[in-house]
Amino acid sequence: MRITIAQSNFCVGDIKNNTKTIVDCIETAKQLGSDLIAFPELAITGYPPEDLLLRRALYNQVDEALLTIKSVSNDISILIGYPYQSSQSLYNSCSLIENNEIQASYHKQNLPNYGVFDEKRYFTAGDSARLINVNGIALGLSICEDIWSSGPAKQVADAGAKLLININASPFHSSKPAEREKILRQRVEETGLNIIYLNLVGGQDELVFDGGSMIVDEHGEVIFRASQFDEELYTFDIEEKNKELVFSTSTPGTAKLDYLPAVYSALVLGVKDYVGKNGFKGAVIGLSGGIDSALTLAIASDALGPENVEILIMPSRYTADMSTNDAVEMANKLQVKYSILPIEKPFQAFTELLAPVFEGLPADATEENLQARSRGVLMMALSNKTGKLVLTTGNKSEMSVGYATLYGDMAGGFAPLKDLSKTLTYELSEWRNTQTEIIPRRIIDRPPTAELRADQKDEDSLPPYSILDPILERYIELDQSPEEIVRAGFDKETVYEIVRMVDRNEYKRRQAAPGVRITKRAFGRDRRYPITSRYRES
């Protein structure tokens, strides 16, 4: 048997173009002489379709797509994922299409309902295995979460399958590739099956699907690994020798990416697909001369091309000359269009306009926020005029404790660094400079500062990031209590103050732009806390 797996990038809801991509892949597989081509989970609609699944008209489009796919199923078998609506239930399904008809279907049995997943909101769980036969080889079917427990794999092994095809829409986080590999080896050890693990690739709002499809043989060895973050077709020959399946391919596999390049690739793909799939003409970034905006510019330039990125450098009375100089140097290195728009005039205008209202009140963070909001107005104006999306530059450390200005530096449509700690922001900047040195050294070496008042440093308002970030990771990503964090060796007063800052700034985070998820617990889909809450840990 010759099989092609399509590690494809689909857009949620774009059924017409998704179908065109599917048909193009089928025609290529035919030219390669493949007997079977397999596509990822919910390929026709894209994943996750969320409440689009509640729109009745969606299923008319799905049916039309299936008719088109059936029409090209001569001389090849097609395994395709889509939502199947029966008279009473909706299933997350995959079907084998041959000779212009659906020959067999499988309904996903394990519906994830944790973290970023809420499939039980929409789907009914299947309850039985499904085997198909292609060129005399018995293949078992499963979908994504099915592989994370032993039941579905054991069902098809007991029914006589030699090979399990598991189609996926498995989103990336930094430890996910290793977790998948461990789970696949467990299933092989339990069942003796060979497993083809086929994963979606592409960005969808906060989620990035990293591909990384693989084949694990019946001995638990990864005998093929597809690239991560790339769309590609992979073709294999499978034959049975001495009661074992033997796989061969002319396509060389790739090594699993290390931590920093994997995270950086996820950020690049997330920005590229968010901007592209939503029809924006490029990106606008406020470049301050600080580390966050510098890394955001690097990511945007790699994702979109420097010709599609526009920079505003917006110094205030508190901006050091070195900040402006470093911003200009980086823009020139990348050959990105930039404009210098000082914000003194709009800041003064706001201050004078508000003077009667603020009479008798001392200066405080209000005046700092007016500067950030002046910048937000300018960036959004350029976005409106050019059709380019404003990328916000805040990181997870800042968003956690509310060290950001609503409608100021938080203004924008997408936040590439939203799930990156400040510590990781520095690490990624150093790594990116090892590829090509584009971030000026002084930006990395300088103490971080918002430059909204004289001689301001982040550590005036926050603990050092070497202390703040581990506490935030324990509280947000690991769900540890303040008491547990203190027992781990952190100062009690510091821990409780950070926890209070996190809890009281949920209202800001709820209004923040979406951003790429790279940890197990990102703000948004993963961590859903009430805004109005008097719950306290102590």
For residue 300, name the pLDDT band (cuts at 50, 70, 90). Answer: very high
Q: Which of 11, 25, 94, 144 is catalytic?
A: 144
Which tens digits make up the pLDDT trace of 59-98?
Answer: 999 999 999 999 999 999 999 999 999 988 999 999 999 9
Query: Which are the contacts of 222, defined by CB distance < 8 A and separation ≥ 6?
Result: 181, 184, 214, 215, 216
Residue 478 lies in a domain: no
Same domain, 25 and 112: yes
Residue 102 lies in a domain: yes
List, for residues 435-449, the tens digit of each pLDDT value.
999 999 999 999 888
Question: Domain for residue 512, yes or no?
Answer: no
Q: Which of 222, 251, 280 is the last residue of a domain?
A: 251
* pLDDT at 184 exceeding the cut of 80: yes
Q: Is residue 235 one of the residues assigned to a domain?
A: yes
Do 245 and 269 have their domain in common? no
Q: Judge whether 41 counts as a catalytic residue.
A: yes
Residues 283 and 359 in one domain: yes
Summarize pLDDT for 316-350 with one digit per residue, the tens.
999 899 999 999 999 999 999 999 999 999 999 99
The answer as to whether 121 is a domain residue is yes
Please check whether residues 265 and 241 belong to one and the same domain.
Answer: no
Are 321 and 383 found together in one domain? yes
Percentage of the chain modeled with pLDDT above 90: 89
Whichever domain contains 139, its CATH number is 3.60.110.10
pLDDT at position 457 is 79
Domain range for residue 325?
261-458
Give yes or no: residues 413 and 292 share one domain: yes
Same domain, 120 and 143: yes
The whole-angstrom separation of Cα 188 and Cα 223 is: 13
What is the enclosing helix (H) or strand (E) of 300? helix 291-304
Catalytic hit among 11, 70, 108, 506? 108
pLDDT at position 458 over 90: no
Q: Does 451 qualify as catalytic in the annotation?
A: no
User: Is 94 a catalytic site residue?
Assistant: no
Confidence of residue 522 (pLDDT cuts 50, 70, 90): very high
Please check the confidence at residue 459 and state whether its pLDDT lies above 80: no
Residues 219 and 76 both lie in one domain: yes
Say whether both 301 and 246 belong to one domain.
no
Average pLDDT over residues 106-111: 97
- Which pLDDT does position 462 carry in this prediction? 87
Q: Which of 11, 25, 41, 70 is catalytic?
A: 41
Domain boundary among 227, 251, 275: 251
Per mean pLDDT, which range of 44-58, 219-233, 234-248, 386-400 is the poorest? 234-248
Residues 218-225 have a mean pLDDT of 94
Integer Cα distance of 274 and 276 in angstroms: 6
pLDDT reported for residue 297 = 98
Task: Report the CATH number that the domain containing residue 442 is assigned in CATH.
Answer: 3.40.50.620
Token pair, residue 242, equals 């001495």
Which of 86-90, 145-149, 165-169 has the lowest average pLDDT?
Answer: 86-90
Give 356's pLDDT tier (boundaries 50, 70, 90): very high
Q: Report pLDDT for 112.
A: 95
Q: Work out the pLDDT band at 255, boundaries 50, 70, 90.
A: confident
Rounded mean pLDDT, 359-378: 94
Cα distance between residue 164 and residue 470, in whole Å? 41
Q: Taking residues 462-483, report their average pLDDT.
A: 94
Omega of the bond leading into 48 within 30 degrees of 0 (cis): yes
Q: Which pTM does this prediction carry? A: 0.94
Tally the domains of the chain. 2
pLDDT category of residue 208 using cuts at 50, 70 and 90: very high
Cα separation, 503 vs 534, whole angstroms? 9
**Residue 488 falls inside a structural domain:** no
Q: What's the confidence (pLDDT) of residue 252?
A: 81
What pLDDT is attached to residue 450? 77
pLDDT at residue 451 is higher than 90: no
Q: In this structure, what token pair is assigned to residue 96?
A: 């084998």
Evaluate if residue 182 carries a pLDDT over 90. Answer: yes
Tell whether 265 and 244 lie within a shared domain.
no
Question: Is 515 a domain residue?
Answer: no
| Residue 308 and residue 184 in one domain | no
Are both 237 and 309 inside the same structural domain? Answer: no
Q: Which residues contact 152 (CB under 8 A, 6 or more apart)?
A: 109, 110, 129, 142, 146
Joined together, the tokens standing for residue 2 give 């010759």
* CA–CA gap between residue 76 and residue 239 (Å, rounded): 18
Q: Which of 396, 429, 458 is the last residue of a domain?
A: 458
Q: Does 205 reside within a domain? A: yes
Residue 130 has pLDDT above 80, yes or no: yes
Pair of tokens at residue 112: 């994830």
